Structure 1
Amino acid sequence: MKVAPDKTCMQFSIRRSKLPSSETHPEESMYKRLGVSAWLNHLNELGQVEEEYKLRKAIFFGGIDVSIRGEVWPFLLRYYSHESTSEEREALRLQKRKEYSEIQQKRLSMTPEEHRAFWRNVQFTVDKDVVRTDRNNQFFRGEDNPNVESMRRILLNYAVYNPAVGYSQGMSDLVAPILAEVLDESDTFWCFVGLMQNTIFVSSPRDEDMEKQLLYLRELLRLTHVRFYQHLVSLGEDGLQMLFCHRWLLLCFKREFPEAEALRIWEACWAHYQEADV
């Protein structure tokens, strides 16, 4: 750390650690980022994904080129099945667009009393969050940006679709990157549904789910960083609550890394490589 000459500010120098080869996966450098040609090679003449395991492995190690994220992410988020044909996916999109419209209509058709309760429990927080989510991203930048309104509708409609979860602060941070890549509002909504239902990487806002994730993290620390784990134990209950990492879990490390790296982490987790049940 260096103090500026005029002492009006402090400058921090951050060094990125580089793991020695002995600590990296032996296949770490064998896979390039999944590009257009490699992706097309995984599709047969009907548009079905072939060699799914190899595809997930390639994504886990190499990530996905930005140009095709919008096409590949719906598969990773279980909106599309790998066995589906191009025609079946188009039919699904039409069906899901109709379902999404019905969900929105249900929200818009609330009685005055229902709407007051919804505004108090959901909409008030959503309205505050969306206007400050990813505003540095060109996709959401500027006043009266229609993409911000799309994000707002997705979150409000999700609260109607899944009232047991509703909306909690931080969910806008999960929706925004998906919308910016997938672009279509209805498709993004169903991708977000898949994210909340099918990935172990996102912890829903419920306390029991967060505690389950913290349990996994404590066990990992106990096995891999014994001294740090023992330090947390020595601090008592406060140390083991690990309040410092709650945001990591709720926002999937989105605010702890530059966006490009955070989304790369998301893709690796969504690939579910080397998991028994995918």
Structure 2
Amino acid sequence: MASDGARKQFWKRSNSKVPGSIQHVYGAQHPPFDPLSHGTPGKAAPPAPATPLKAKRPSTFQEFESSTSDAWDAGEDEDELLAMAAESLNTEVVMETAHRVLRNHSQRQERPPPREAPQPRAEPALAPAPGGDLRLVKSVSESHTPCPAESASDTVPLQRSRSLPHSAAGALGGTSDPSTLGSSASSDREASRLDKFRQLITGPHTDLEELRKLSWSGIPKAVRPITWKLLSGYLPANADRRPATLQRKQTEYFAFIERYYDSRNDEAHQDTFRQIFERILFIWAIRHPASGYVQGINDLVTPFFVVFICEHIEEDDADAADVSRVPADALHSVEADTFWCVSRLLDGIQDNYTFAQPGIQMKVRMLEELVSRIDEHVHRHLERHEVRYLQFAFRWMNNLLTRELPLRCAVRLWDTYQAEPEGFSRFHLYVCAAFLLSWRKEILEEGDFQELLLFLQNLPTAHWGDGDVSLLLAEAYRLKFAFADAPSHYKK
């Protein structure tokens, strides 16, 4: 009996909480389980010992070994633990719940998006799509169907948006009646915007402030590569200095390759997307030892590479392009340009990728505070079902929504990020808040932890187009206008 008491005391775990203790974070596959809310038939848990254990003198190692030598043998204690586990979890109940959640989620994904009845009021005329034919599938939410055309009339408007400020509506191109907006008028408007871009870019000295204003509502595909290079600070505003800058930066990048990267020079070796990305990320990690490579940085390379490679391919779908068919000089230029533009981007958000990623954790907390101020009902609903913002918003901050949106929409989103001051660091917070609240109706309809987390981690954005992104950005602009310069509104 003494050995049994010693063994029970040895395996007893303390329930007291100490500073720095680990808190449980649950996922959709393993939700928090409350035995009180899941009544399962069975016997009651075994009672605690009637007599308290007496204090003992410190035992020697031989005594400890003899008292615990049979700890892993099958005995009464093991049978008791197995019985407790069988009482706590009923297999049939668990499997039935899991199948129900997955079935409901699948039906919701297959359900077409709701459409509102046509309204007689005017609709906003959306900006031209920024290269809707670019697709590099990375997300489960991205569709494999052909991308919509670059006209705004082919996109499905975002039905969950609220009122927009006049300044944001003006950025979207004003209002007009879709019934009277013909294809010729749309083409004329797109041609006019393209001419404005070319006049700014080809001038002796580009007015970057004016270029940002023009780029906020989307950049035409024909001028997007050079516009991104200018807005990111990679190319100078002075047109005469650009060729020399490109040559110097490309030479510098490939000097890094020769010095640090062990290239394979065999004849059978050919560059692919993966090998080019590998070199870019390797050189960046070597030059930034405080960060190194962090999972998720590769997603930030994709939009730049796709935009720059489309200057040299004829395929409408960048994912179907054969990199080996691109001339070597052009491919080297694309690789070097991508590296320097990604470096410029990461310089502004490097605290997102240092040890413990403090920048992302801070932004997730700011998102939680912001949502609690904007829509307390949604915030309380997530809290009531124990869904934490870190479980779904961490990826939004880490990948800048490239995993949540089709690539064509991510490119359009980044047009505005490039044009917005601190777009990737500060404005992205308001975009995430608007993105979350755009699914308000669906979030409030979910009634348990599993379905909420499955929905938030697999948002149905495959049908999204440039019109949806434009409305999302307009709502984010409204939130920024209301909260960015009003600390008393932002904090409780």
Judge same fold: TM > 0.5, yes or no.
yes
Between the aligned partners of 1:44 and 1:98, the Cα distance in structure 2 is 24
1:187 partnered with 2:337: yes
Q: Which residue does the alignment assign to 1:213?
A: 363
Between the aligned partners of 1:199 and 1:274, the Cα distance in structure 2 is 10
Q: Is the 8 A contact 2:249 2:336 kept in 1?
A: yes
Q: Within 5 Å, which residues of 2 pair with 1:1-278?
A: 10=107, 11-15=110-114, 17-18=158-159, 22-23=163-164, 25-30=168-173, 35-43=193-201, 45-46=203-204, 48-50=205-207, 52-60=208-216, 62-81=217-236, 84-108=237-261, 146-183=272-309, 184-198=334-348, 203-204=352-353, 206-234=356-384, 239-272=387-420
Q: Is the 8 A contact 1:79 1:194 kept in 2?
A: yes
- Give 1:103 shift: 1.9
- Give 1:20 shift: 6.0
Structure 1 spans left out of the alignment, 5+ residues: 1-8, 110-142
Between the aligned partners of 1:108 and 1:29, the Cα distance in structure 2 is 45
Q: Which residue does the alignment assign to 1:122?
A: none
Q: Which residue does the alignment assign to 1:6?
A: none
What per-residue deviation string (whole Å, max 9, x for no partner) do you get for residues 118-142 of structure 1? xxxxxxxxxxxxxxxxxxxxxxxxx
Cα RMSD, aligned residues only: 3.3
Which structure has the bigger radius of gyration?
2
- Give 1:70 shift: 1.2
Between the aligned partners of 2:380 and 2:270, the Cα distance in structure 1 is 51
Distance 1:158 1:35, change over 3 A: farther
Q: Is the 8 A contact 2:352 2:358 kept in 1?
A: no
- Give 1:144 shift: 5.6
State the SS of the aligned residue for 1:13. coil
Between the aligned partners of 2:160 and 2:422, the Cα distance in structure 1 is 22
Give the stretch that moved more between structures: 166-175 or 265-274.
265-274
Structure 2 spans left out of the alignment, 5+ residues: 1-105, 115-156, 175-188, 263-268, 310-333, 428-492
Q: Is the 8 A contact 2:303 2:407 kept in 1?
A: no
The amino acid that maps onto 1:228 is V
What per-residue deviation string (whole Å, max 9, x for no partner) do you get for residues 184-219 of structure 1? 11111000101101369x943642011121122112
What is the number of residues matched between the two proteins?
A: 229
Q: Is the 8 A contact 1:70 1:181 kept in 2?
A: yes
**Which TM-score applies when normalising by structure 2?**
0.42
Q: Is the 8 A contact 2:296 2:399 kept in 1?
A: yes
Give the stretch that moved more between structures: 169-178 or 31-40.
31-40
Q: Which residue does the alignment assign to 1:132?
A: none
Q: Is the 8 A contact 2:218 2:416 kept in 1?
A: yes
Q: Is the 8 A contact 2:224 2:307 kept in 1?
A: yes
% identity of equivalent residues: 22
Q: Which residue does the alignment assign to 1:125?
A: none
Q: Is the 8 A contact 1:63 1:268 kept in 2?
A: yes
Between the aligned partners of 2:384 and 2:288, the Cα distance in structure 1 is 41
Q: Which residue does the alignment assign to 1:115?
A: none
